[in-house]
Amino acid sequence: MGILNVSVLRPAMEAAGSAAASASLHVFDAGSEIMVPLYRDEQLTHLTANPVTASQSGTFPFCYVENGVYCLEVRDTHGRLITRLDDVAVISPFVAEAPHQFASVTELVADLALSYTPGEGRFPVVAGNHVHVTRGQFTYRVLVGTATNHDIQTAGGVRLKALSLVGNDTGAFSPEQFGAAAASKLYEDVVNRRWCLDAALTQPAPDSTAALQACFDAADVIVGGGGHYMVTEVEVSSDTAVHDLYLYERGNSADVQYSPLYIGRDNTFGRTSSPVANIANTRRNILIENVHIHGGRALQTNLSTADGGRYGFRIRGYVDNLTLRDCSANYCATDGIEIHRGVGTNVLATGETDAQIRASNIRVTNCRFDWNRRHGGSGNSMQNVRFEDCSFEYNGLNVDGTWTPRSAGSEATDGKNGILSAGDTYGNGWDMEAGASGSTGGRVVNITFKGCRMRKNVRDSALFFDPVDQAQADFQSRESIFFIDCLLDAGQNNTNGNFALTFTSNITRKDKLPVYRNVQVINCDILGTVTARSVSGFILRGGRMIAAVPANGYGVFDYATGVRISPSESNITYVGSATTADVFPERELVGQAPFAGCSIAAGATLLQTLNVPGVTSDDFVEVVNTSITGASFTHVYVLTARGAGKTTSLQNQIYAVLKNEHGVAKTLGPGCWYWRVTKAPAITEFVSNPAFATGLVAGGNKVIALSGLVVGGKYKLSYATGNHTTGTVTPTLAGTVGTAATATGFYNETLTCGTGTMELRFDAGTGFNGAISDVSLVRVS
């Protein structure tokens, strides 16, 4: 049996809006004119009249029917039809101990019958009763009338707590359980700067932010069901999975920062300003799957502060183990995705350094970040981040597809128009910038873009710009940045030049220590060239490069060492001639070696020997990645036999140095080293580990014995001197003395191999107390 209680009939209303006093309710079998028996009791033993007569207030008494589908007609005292409802389903109310069942959450919220007190037209409930909603199969528990932790409340004042979805994991909820009305689609009303529920643009969409936030706060798993919702900003907690949602950023003309999905902690707009709390409250273990964001950039105006501060996915502060899969964030008023160190974390607490990385272990797969007002994505302060099969295209353009700067009046801060820098549109596919000049807080380690499409933006496919001051004590290079199998170009209106990829320091500090190390561009299709400034170790291998101005060569290599471009054996197709001196063919070995795990004391350094078949002491070796648990706590240096200071020629082995850069002991779990060995037998080359001569003092020297030097051959020598206040360092190659280096920074010169001892030697002059690093010696003729 079921209770016949239809919320739209309680009370019955005349067309003029007044209660239909003494109206009659006729109940028929669906699809017929046969009136059905009605009962006064739930056991269906006492018949009552059909039709049912309403009170003077238009309220019908409760009655019961067999489970089934019915047609309801309400008529006034003259027999005129007031309301007709077809296909009304009535189901037993005692499913899950529910005193009543509703067709939808909207009907439940509008209900006046459920009540904590008995009375005419009321169905009394008590705390602990359950209420069921057939659409979505939602169940609620009745709370006491004074409860404050309720999720929804009926119009009659009954407070209800949503229960997890039947058949799903514990903690699975739908936004609809919390009062969010899911639409099948939203429509953009650009004239009125709003989203609508209908194509005619007459029904404004409701703001579902509060309901979605309540769902996200309660759930471990958010089951979106493909619903479309308009929101301002919803924050995601740790240990949460979000599935199948479409989110639309609400139109706004205020100078505020909102993003549909926010992950992390900082003090923007009242969030915590304590860095210690940020660390303790690291957002971790989050899965976002099949979530699609429309940023509604054409609905946004007054985008002044922080370039508008309206992203799709905004990830700030301390975040660990985040996966985005099969998602999108398009048409956002700033960027599609932002991974940022966070505002509150600029205030350092005990145990932190400015260089401490905030975001770790982020995987983004098969996602789209297109048509955003500034960049497809941006970020800093991150490690172990991988974008695979993603799209970063058409960013920085005006929403009509043009790139013409629009700066008159309010146009510059209107979301329809691409963002401007120095009067020009400038959006990139990906933009990695550290932020404040001199700050060390933008460090990135092990960032990979694989199989990504990064074309048709205003400017570069990817720009890395870091104005860090390398003289700061906590400076660490930005390293291991990989582009593999990507489609890249120099953009549609790149006023900086024909550059598809740019890696650059502050140009006034380019001669200091290298900002970037180990940058590799492998098997990419590049329409344009590259800039590598203040880079140690740049590899361009495989794929195709087509430059608009062939005379420019492969690009600009400015204070860059260890540049390796392999056009012959690795199949680079290039239109034009290469102009860089560090271009030579190479072949390589790749593989992996197991790692058993170890403990490292605070500040200690351990040397690991790796068995690498086929390697000799004449080869250049690098570890390209690891699967070692806890390796983020260390800095990995890889040495050849010579780099380790060995004088004997070892075969089939390389060395890896693990340095614990933290103030406490760390334990590394087992895993694998993944190594690459570059074999260039026709060219004598030496590349040191990043700091092989730390502690070089006045009167001291560092000597590296080198076999294979050719007397009379010309060799390009590059190296960097560490922080020191006085004194000089002078290089000597087999008896040929080079130019004395004075200030801290990068040095490059070409030396002719003499007839003396076959070695490279650095001698420290009076007053010197510093280090030599990033030594590269390559034969050029």
Place of tokens 């069921």: 132
For the cut 90, the answer to whether the pLDDT of residue 183 exceeds it is yes
Q: What percent of the chain has pLDDT over 70?
A: 77
Helix then strand count (H, E) for the chain reads 3, 63
For the cut 70, the answer to whether the pLDDT of residue 278 exceeds it is no
Sheet holding 587-595, edge to edge: 587-595, 671-679, 620-626
> Which of 269, 257, 331, 325 has the alpha carbon at shortest distance from 294?
331
Residue 210's pLDDT is 94
Residue 464's pLDDT is 95
Residue 721's pLDDT is 79
Whole-model pTM: value is 0.71
Which comes out higher in pLDDT, residue 242 or 627? Answer: 242
| Mean pLDDT value across residues 97-117 | 79
Which comes out higher in pLDDT, residue 446 or 677? Answer: 446
Which comes out higher in pLDDT, residue 433 or 186? Answer: 186
Residue 723's pLDDT is 67
How far is Cα of residue 647 from the mean position of the Cα atoms in its chain? Answer: 47
Residue 341's pLDDT is 83
Q: Going by C-beta distance under 8 Å and a sequence separation of 6 or more, which residues neighbour residue 191?
A: none
Residue 300's pLDDT is 94
Sheet holding 68-75, edge to edge: 52-53, 24-29, 68-75, 81-90
Neighbours of 232 (CB within 10 A): 18
User: Which pLDDT band holds residue 674 (cuts at 50, 70, 90)?
Assistant: low
Gap between the Cα atoms of 197 and 192, Å rounded: 14
pLDDT per residue as tens digits for the range 36-93: 999 888 788 889 999 999 888 888 887 888 888 889 899 988 888 988 888 777 765 4
pLDDT per residue as tens digits for the range 532-545: 888 888 888 877 77
| Mean pLDDT value across residues 219-234 | 94
Backbone angles phi, psi at 317, to 5 degrees: 80, -150
Give the N- to C-terminal CA distance of the chain in Å, as an integer. Answer: 96
Which comes out higher in pLDDT, residue 317 or 504? Answer: 504
Give the SS3 label for residue 755: coil
Which comes out higher in pLDDT, residue 28 or 776? Answer: 28
Residue 369's pLDDT is 97
Instruction: Give whichever of 173-187, 262-276, 706-720 has the largest mean pLDDT.
Output: 173-187
Residue 44's pLDDT is 87
Gap between the Cα atoms of 92 and 66, Å rounded: 8
Residue 228's pLDDT is 97
Backbone angles phi, psi at 651, to 5 degrees: -115, 140
Least confident of 45-59, 224-238, 661-675, 756-770: 661-675
Residue 320's pLDDT is 92
DSSP conformation class of 164: P
Gap between the Cα atoms of 657 and 297, Å rounded: 49
| Mean pLDDT value across residues 661-671 | 74
For the cut 50, the answer to whether the pLDDT of residue 646 exceeds it is no
Neighbours of 57 (CB within 10 A): 12
Gap between the Cα atoms of 271 and 624, Å rounded: 38
**Strand ranges inside 412-524, DSSP E:** 420-421, 424-425, 430-433, 444-450, 453-454, 462-466, 478-484, 487-489, 499-505, 516-522
User: Which pLDDT band holds residue 207 (cuts at 50, 70, 90)?
Assistant: very high
pLDDT per residue as tens digits for the range 579-635: 333 333 334 455 667 777 888 887 777 777 777 666 655 555 555 556 666 555 444
pLDDT per residue as tens digits for the range 292-328: 999 999 999 999 888 888 999 999 888 999 999 999 9
Q: Report the DSSP beta bridge partners of residue 94.
A: none
The helix or strand, by DSSP H or E, that contains position 106, with its residue range, turns out to be helix 105-109
For the cut 90, the answer to whether the pLDDT of residue 686 exceeds it is no
Query: DSSP string covering 6-62, please?
Result: -GGGSS-B-TTSSB-TT-EEEEEETTS-PBPPEESSTTS-SEE-SSEEP-TTSPPPP
For the cut 80, the answer to whether the pLDDT of residue 343 exceeds it is no
Gap between the Cα atoms of 202 and 196, Å rounded: 7
User: Which pLDDT band holds residue 94 (cuts at 50, 70, 90)?
Assistant: very low
For the cut 70, the answer to whether the pLDDT of residue 447 exceeds it is yes
- Mean of pLDDT over the chain: 80
Neighbours of 564 (CB within 10 A): 22
Residue 449's pLDDT is 96
DSSP conformation class of 276: H
For the cut 60, the answer to whether the pLDDT of residue 350 exceeds it is no
| Mean pLDDT value across residues 379-400 | 94
DSSP conformation class of 127: T
User: Which pLDDT band holds residue 103 (cuts at 50, 70, 90)?
Assistant: confident
Phi-psi region of 745 (alpha: psi -120 to 50; beta: other; left: phi over 0): left
Instruction: Give whichever of 268-282, 392-406, 522-536 has the largest mean pLDDT.
Output: 392-406
User: Which pLDDT band holds residue 727 (cuts at 50, 70, 90)?
Assistant: confident
